[in-house]
Structure 1
Amino acid sequence: MSVATTVTLSGWRWRQHGKVDEKWHQCVHDKPTTEIFTDLIDAKVIPDPFIDENERLVQWVGEADWEYACDFQYEPDSGHSRQDLLFAGLDTVATVYLNDQDKILESTNMFHRHRIDVTGKLRRGLNTLRIVFKSALHYGRELEKKHGSYRAFSGENSRVHVRKAQYHYGWDWGPLLMTCGPCGEISLETYASTVENVFADAQVSEDLQTASMKISFDAILDRDVTADVTVTTPSGHIFRLSTALSLSAKDPRGSVSLEIHQPELWYPIGHGPQIFYLVDVAIVGPDQVPLHYVRKPVGIRRLRLVQQPLIDEPGTSFFIEINNKPVYSSGSNWIPGHSFLTSMTAKDYVSAVDLCVKGNQNMLRVWGGGIYEHDALYEECDRRGILVWQDFAFACAQYPCYPEFAATVKREAVDQVKRLRQYCSIVLYAGNNEDYQIAEMLNLTWDPEDHSGDWTNTDFPARTLYETHLPAVVTEYSPGVPYHPSSPWGGEGTTDRTVGDIHQWNVWHGSQEKYQLWDKLVGRFVSEFGMLGFPAAKSIRRFVTDPAQRYPQSSVLDLHNKADGAERRLALYVLENIRVNSLDLDSWIYATQLIQAECLGFAVRSCRRQWKGPGREYCAGQLVWQINDCWPVSSWAMVDFYGEKKMAYFMTMRDSAPLALGMSRSTPELKKLKSPPPQILAPPHDLAPKKNFIDVWAVNGTLKDFPVQIEVRLYDIATGALREERSMDIQTLLSNRTTELLEDLSVDDKTAVQAIMKDPQGGHVIARASDWPQPLKYVTLSASPDVTLSVLDGKLEIRTKVPVKGVVVSVADDRDVDFGDNGVDVFPDDVYTICAQGLAKDDKVEMRYYGLDF
């Protein structure tokens, strides 16, 4: 016997399956994973579908069948009695042949993982693996004919039958590009004995003083062996749990338990350190020869989803608690980072999580219409302390639950939960995205009082998946993580703002409320909300190659905007709120990004304001839809496909900071309301004078009380004259909650207000907030604001004589400079400094702000 070896297969070649005289084409890369669209692009068989209107030209690819092959070497080892091929994922309808003699696997689920015993089937020397991928479109349509039609929103109805990433069928932000291929790594493992499914399940006591860790694992053995299990603490202490744990080839499962006193705990970012125990499992043969070894980093934390009655408000809370500390979740939704998943690298996932950290986000929701993400994403979330809300892979549809479908889903859930349960960052599983909302829209049979557990004979059969099968898998394989049947879910239907989570789309979708109503739309946890904005101009120049197509209403830009009614709704929100003197592309980009930023910023502030301390967790989190794009597009993303940050990214970054200020302007009548009125902003013919009042509050998201100095200044917008200034006594902001600072400060519609939070010790600025009359289109701005920009090495400074809104800076030559802030409001008597990594003092910096072109 000798130690197990693993070789990852690569060097793929491809061709269209079933096409007469079709030759093999070698992939230009030597990566272990690949897919047909990237290979066709590399071979110049098709144009890049991300560019111009090329998406229209490549639809035939998804209608065709394809095949892949690769060669690999195998030399028998007398110490290895077994050989397995491991498949991390095949997209999607795949038949696998070994040496064109043995059909070793048929798979129709992209999310299944496979271990195939090929002992005795390998040749000495060169072997060939060939995979035929049938069109998932045709496969789904055949299943639809057999099992019936179910309604899907986004993509064709047949997608609900196919266990493939649903966004490949097209979404309201993504293209229709039905790719296929060996999307997960395939490896050859040769061994006598091997270990798999190592799981360290740690249960922390309520007082956090002890942790019980049960370490379980499976093994594949050709004889009886012993297992050696050790645990190394973050501080370096080693627990050797067993040197002689006997494993039988007939029952090759092992488990040991450990009591840890004074455990070193993992915390989310901003709450404590991200530290890990190391769990090592090794199996050893009778002659003490090591056979296989697995190491797992394990973060230990006490996790609860707290849903309990609230003080002075109906319903219940909905917040994550880590190590007895309530966590306000400020973050975003994550869609797959690329339409072609094999184009993503580990570095891309690191960069994505870094965006969250720099944006003051502490949670990502991995959305159900994509995939169970690559390990690299979860590893980085563990390392950086970003919490993960993980949807199961169902979205926006009425799904079936016939026996074959239920069986493949249950196996999918087991495969993925067993893979994901090692990540301490995952704090919630949700059964799907918006499928109960779809059930309501379609008036499907859904009786919340029916707890039979089997609804397969109703017109909402997938409820059996969401409320029976999936929670059973989570309970068995990841018992410490809460399960939520859907998102949104809770209370009297999916729009109940007092229980569970909601998706608040009555701004943009739904009733298309004015975004100034966001404080009337808050729920206990808002897991989706958004506003659409154009990508950056430099990004548009990359995917629109014809300069004549670079205008807002061009056919190319319309194709790269998949949102329902996008042109109308963008125009609605822009023209209702701001002046637009030109419809040139740069002006429209600025206008849509300003509205997106204003909307999302007010939403974040409105939600965080309702985190008011123990028993008053009226809102416990908000997750922006969305942080990223999968291709170049106008969408709800805060960072476009090419990594350019929109104004909304910076606005929400400021409003989600550990120490932040918030302001809102309201009339006495509107302030009393709990829900949106029929109308919020008075039309021009309403002659009654408006009385406006400002509220100011502060958020302390840290775990310690914090003394601050607050200044509030009222400026005449047109002249810059300081009308009023209030300097409050030193305020102590209590930890992990919002503190109301000032209520009903009277202002008129010619006044902008700035609030500044300072450190009373050193006097430096900690946070700023500003408030302007609404809508901005009625505001009379200064004809000569006298805004000046000082460019220095690594930073720039902005000064102004009058209040200015939405100052955006950029380097003129499109050179990459990492601006630490942007899209800022600047006031007199306050120099706004922006750090800019890579900026040189001789760089030409361009500046734009609201009203510059008036």
Structure 2
Amino acid sequence: MTYHDPSLVELTLKDWQYREHKTQEWKHSRKGAIVTEIHADLLENKEIPDPFINANERDVQWVGEKDWEYYNEFLVSDNAKELAVSELVFEGLDTFATVYLNEEQILTTDNMFREYRVNVKEKLNYVGINKLRIFFKSALRTARELEQKHGKFYCFNGETSRVQVRKAQYHFGWDWGPVLITCGPYKPVKLISYNSFINDVYVKVDVGTNSKASIDIQTDVVVAKSASSLEIEVKSPDGQLITTFNTAVEKSGVVFNKLQLDEPELWFPLGHGNQSLYEFKVILEDQIVKKKVGLRRIELVQETFEEQKGSSFYFKVNNIPIYSAGSNWIPAHSLQSLLLESDYKQLLQLLVDGHQNMVRIWGGGYYENDIFYDECDRLGLLVWQDFMFACGQYPGYPEYIETVSEEVQHQLKRLRNHCSMVIYSGNNEDYQVAEQFNLDWDPEDKSGDYSATSFPARTLYENTFPALVSKYCPEIPYHPGSPWGGEGTSDPTVGDLHQWNVWHGSQEKYQDWYRLGGRFISEFGMEALPNRKTFEACITDPDELYPQSEMIDHHNKADGFERRLALYVIENIKVKGFDLDSWIYATQLMQAECLGYAYRCWRREWKGDGKRYTGGAIVWQINDCWPVTSWSIVDFFKRPKLAYYSVKRESRPVGLGMYRNEKKHTHEQAKPVSTAGPPHDYSRVDYSVDLWGVNSNTSDQPAILKVDVYEVTTGDRLHTLPDKDVVLKANSSTEFITGYAIDNDKPVVVYGRFVSKEDGSIIASAADWPQPLKYLKFPGREVKFEVKNGSVKLSSNKPVKGVEIIVERDVFLQDNGFDLFPGDEKTVIAEDLKTTDRVSIRYYEQQ
């Protein structure tokens, strides 16, 4: 074997020490930690109580007001001494840091979303220890100082000073998260020594309408000492070598290597094809960079309609229209450094298991870690990426524009090889802030420089960001904000919409979601309590485990949640008891019903070419950053709420949609009993039910439609409609029954299902119940269940609403919170379930 001196040496620093600024005692961070934050270290060393437990969050607020220091010692290897360049690379420092190497200042930072690199070749000790010290100034105090300098700006959530700093905004508190203003080296710090170095690899992919792929491998190389040889290997998704390149590199710059694939294996989102990933292996001396890249064509389609006002908003991937059913993503922990790769994998797998194909990274957290995007590529999840601006009036002075430009350039270059990325959005709800507080916003002003207005960050959203996206990843659509489009942010006919008139705003009934839709609903939601075990993990006093306790309330950050949560529960759900278990079930069932209505109503509007009136629904939100009552459908400990399953049922590839229409006989139509308004309007009401099918597959789905009508109270079957041969059209919704009249003198539930023509199995089912559910009575119900290894089998003697399977230990169930009807045996798969597990059930109005 021939030995050669290495041309690249990389050292990742770990085992940090920390201290409060100006104190003498250094303390060890978590053992072996590469990345860390001050709250995590203080907690590790028992200097603070766990801020997630009880109301301890209140007792740790002092941490964010202090200055802190981190310290590391390292040796430079003999091999590194001979190399031309030695750089300290800071992948992420949170946030206002001054860095000293051997007590010489080498860097100051003001942006946690940027990478910083410093050539320290002449500053290193090559004999003996090198000492790295990082001083972190309080971001809270600094934000307030900047606010004094630049003026007080408006915002929703958190204190107003937060908009002054390039730091994760949710650290300042949100209506679902605590106030934990942390600091530290939250991403790796590395010493990289080299003669030549690969700065960046951009696999620029152009898939034409004919599906041929042109690929340009752009390798940004630094040559500091001597000429090098750049080698590239391209492998197919099944690992077969396609081609190689070998290029002599004599100077720094971008090296271009191009190839064309006439019959490429394209990457498709979940449910529409394979997630094929090509491997690009780039080798420069001792450095190897690997990129897994999917080949695909992305389009944001905004075409005008013939029959409705406005224009569409949906995505095409490889010429296939994609209905986006998904969730918003917030940071999965208040202390990001404590997240493991397994946390990301498990949460994203929950999206996949829930038939969701899109995830929106909300603009008040982070540009996520690499593992997030890698998993989305692998799983077929489309990514909507906000830039990190949320619910605020942000500055626009030159220094701010400069640091944000560097931030966005870095992030675009980091993320642009990910095939899952389908859109960049300039901000979250900043245009709504402009509307609410009457900021200067003239849509006719296209100057691009708005620094002199009261909405200065518009320069970023409409000038800086689109130019950077066009330069660094031109194949990805750019959207100025979310929501955005049409005549203001609430226009349902153009662009995307945040529909918060259920819960917030006018607090509409959720049964009316159908008239609250838009072209693409990128936020909507409903609160519910988490699992009882989640409360038991964060509340130590058993006497506090009741719905109105101080600790339960502390773990709900939504303003006015008592009124709003009670409003929606009391309007809809009969609460048999006010103990914690009953209240958890009531809120979760209500949330499940609410979100199910939304997905069902809006997906109906995916009516095929030229009539794709709604292009997607993205619920707020999939996850939590701590144990809390929130709008999440999966709680902090990854325990699905009942709403997770209702969203899953409505998002399955083939589904049955139902809606109950109400026609009131006013005095123009028939003589009323009373002419008084609500609640004294006794006009006769007629009800009818519509049934339709949805099919996201690219081929038609034949089926038999079966419909039964039951009287709820007695459980008797009143009618059975004749079986109907149907075909669910590919990639659209298909109407089957419109205006089926039902009895308005008694409560009836309509139960429909599509069954296979081949074997009679149920392909999809749904039920339409009288509203509100609180008026219904369910006497004489009996639900039988049998636990087996890997499944639970259930049946009922009469129609039953909201059956929940409860397993003492955490086991993932493939379905839950479902309805049961006589004659159907329901089998719920739970792969980890054992016959020895303690299993119970509960259901709505259980006797």
Where on the TM-score scale, by shorter chain, does this alignment land: which range?
over 0.9
For residue 768 of structure 1, what is the aligned residue in structure 2? 765
d(CA) in 1 for partners of 2:340, 2:836: 35
Deviation at 1:852, TM superposition (A): 1.5
d(CA) in 2 for partners of 1:822, 1:428: 33
For residue 784 of structure 1, what is the aligned residue in structure 2? 780
For residue 94 of structure 1, what is the aligned residue in structure 2? 97
Deviation at 1:252, TM superposition (A): 2.8
d(CA) in 1 for partners of 2:724, 2:446: 56
For residue 676 of structure 1, what is the aligned residue in structure 2? none
User: Structure 1 residues 611 and 518, CA, compared in 2 at 3 Å: closer, same or farther?
Assistant: same
SS at match of 1:819: coil
**Superposed, which structure 2 residues align to 1:358-369 within 5 Å?**
358-369=353-364
SS at match of 2:78: coil
| Unmatched tracts of structure 1, length 5 or more | 284-289, 672-680
C-alpha distance after superposition, 1:303-326 (max 9, x if no partner) = 111111123111111111100000
C-alpha distance after superposition, 1:510-547 (max 9, x if no partner) = 11000000011110000000000001111111111101
For residue 232 of structure 2, what is the aligned residue in structure 1? 229
Equivalent position to 1:837, from 825, 831, 837? 831
The residue type equivalent to 2:192 in the other structure is E
Deviation at 1:236, TM superposition (A): 4.5
The answer as to whether partners of 1:247 and 1:253 remain within 8 angstroms in 2 is no
C-alpha distance after superposition, 1:182-207 (max 9, x if no partner) = 00011111111111111010111111
The answer as to whether partners of 1:247 and 1:254 remain within 8 angstroms in 2 is no
**Superposed, which structure 2 residues align to 1:595-606 within 5 Å?**
595-606=590-601
Q: State whether structure 2 residue 811 is matched by structure 1 residue 807.
A: no
The residue type equivalent to 1:624 in the other structure is V
For residue 282 of structure 1, what is the aligned residue in structure 2? 283
Equivalent position to 2:502, from 504, 507, 510? 507
TM-score (norm 1): 0.95
Equivalent position to 1:184, from 187, 193, 197? 187
Deviation at 1:664, TM superposition (A): 0.7
The answer as to whether partners of 2:665 and 2:684 remain within 8 angstroms in 1 is no
For residue 789 of structure 2, what is the aligned residue in structure 1? 793
For residue 669 of structure 2, what is the aligned residue in structure 1? none
Deviation at 1:775, TM superposition (A): 0.8
For residue 30 of structure 1, what is the aligned residue in structure 2? 32
The answer as to whether partners of 1:109 and 1:408 remain within 8 angstroms in 2 is yes
**Superposed, which structure 2 residues align to 1:404-553 within 5 Å?**
404-553=399-548
The residue type equivalent to 1:428 in the other structure is I
Q: State whether structure 2 residue 705 is matched by structure 1 residue 710.
A: yes
Equivalent position to 1:170, from 173, 179, 187? 173
The residue type equivalent to 2:833 in the other structure is L
d(CA) in 1 for partners of 2:250, 2:656: 59
For residue 22 of structure 2, what is the aligned residue in structure 1? 18
User: Structure 1 residues 385 and 682, CA, compared in 2 at 3 Å: closer, same or farther?
Assistant: farther
For residue 257 of structure 1, what is the aligned residue in structure 2? 258
Deviation at 1:105, TM superposition (A): 1.2
For residue 743 of structure 1, what is the aligned residue in structure 2? 738
The residue type equivalent to 1:769 in the other structure is A
d(CA) in 2 for partners of 1:85, 1:388: 31
d(CA) in 2 for partners of 1:633, 1:784: 36
d(CA) in 1 for partners of 2:365, 2:59: 24
SS at match of 2:350: helix
**Superposed, which structure 2 residues align to 1:290-329 within 5 Å?**
290-329=285-324
The residue type equivalent to 1:808 in the other structure is E
Deviation at 1:844, TM superposition (A): 3.0
Deviation at 1:683, TM superposition (A): 5.0
Larger mean CA deviation between 65-74 and 423-432 belongs to 65-74
The answer as to whether partners of 1:193 and 1:291 remain within 8 angstroms in 2 is no
User: What count of residue pairs does the alignment treat as equivalent?
Assistant: 830
d(CA) in 2 for partners of 1:209, 1:168: 46
d(CA) in 2 for partners of 1:633, 1:727: 48
d(CA) in 1 for partners of 2:664, 2:89: 65
The residue type equivalent to 2:416 in the other structure is R
**Superposed, which structure 2 residues align to 1:29-48 within 5 Å?**
29-48=31-50
SS at match of 2:173: coil
For residue 195 of structure 1, what is the aligned residue in structure 2? 198
For residue 696 of structure 2, what is the aligned residue in structure 1? 701
Equivalent position to 2:345, from 345, 350, 353? 350
SS at match of 1:806: strand
The answer as to whether partners of 1:551 and 1:585 remain within 8 angstroms in 2 is yes
Q: State whether structure 2 residue 117 is matched by structure 1 residue 115.
A: yes
d(CA) in 1 for partners of 2:665, 2:276: 48
SS at match of 2:645: helix
User: Structure 1 residues 683 and 594, CA, compared in 2 at 3 Å: closer, same or farther?
Assistant: farther
The residue type equivalent to 2:27 in the other structure is H
C-alpha distance after superposition, 1:64-122 (max 9, x if no partner) = 0111111122123265222111111001111111122x211111100010121110222
The answer as to whether partners of 2:201 and 2:217 remain within 8 angstroms in 1 is no
The residue type equivalent to 2:139 in the other structure is A
d(CA) in 2 for partners of 1:324, 1:333: 25
d(CA) in 1 for partners of 2:292, 2:572: 51
d(CA) in 1 for partners of 2:421, 2:543: 47
Deviation at 1:345, TM superposition (A): 0.8
The answer as to whether partners of 1:364 and 1:387 remain within 8 angstroms in 2 is yes
User: Structure 1 residues 218 and 470, CA, compared in 2 at 3 Å: closer, same or farther?
Assistant: farther
Deviation at 1:245, TM superposition (A): 3.7
The residue type equivalent to 2:835 in the other structure is K
For residue 849 of structure 1, what is the aligned residue in structure 2? 843
The answer as to whether partners of 1:194 and 1:291 remain within 8 angstroms in 2 is no
Equivalent position to 1:586, from 555, 572, 581? 581
The answer as to whether partners of 2:665 and 2:683 remain within 8 angstroms in 1 is no
The residue type equivalent to 1:831 in the other structure is E
d(CA) in 2 for partners of 1:446, 1:365: 26
The answer as to whether partners of 1:221 and 1:252 remain within 8 angstroms in 2 is no
Equivalent position to 1:142, from 142, 145, 149? 145
**Superposed, which structure 2 residues align to 1:638-677 within 5 Å?**
638-668=633-663
Deviation at 1:235, TM superposition (A): 4.6
d(CA) in 1 for partners of 2:213, 2:534: 52
Q: State whether structure 2 residue 26 is matched by structure 1 residue 7.
A: no
Task: Let me know the Cα RMSD of the aligned residues.
Answer: 1.6
| Unmatched tracts of structure 2, length 5 or more | 667-675
The residue type equivalent to 1:563 in the other structure is A
For residue 674 of structure 1, what is the aligned residue in structure 2? none
d(CA) in 1 for partners of 2:402, 2:665: 53
Equivalent position to 1:372, from 367, 375, 378? 367
d(CA) in 2 for partners of 1:560, 1:81: 54
d(CA) in 2 for partners of 1:827, 1:232: 52
C-alpha distance after superposition, 1:710-733 (max 9, x if no partner) = 111111111111111124332111
Equivalent position to 1:66, from 62, 65, 68? 68
Identity within the alignment, %: 48
SS at match of 1:847: strand
d(CA) in 1 for partners of 2:607, 2:665: 21
d(CA) in 2 for partners of 1:53, 1:11: 30
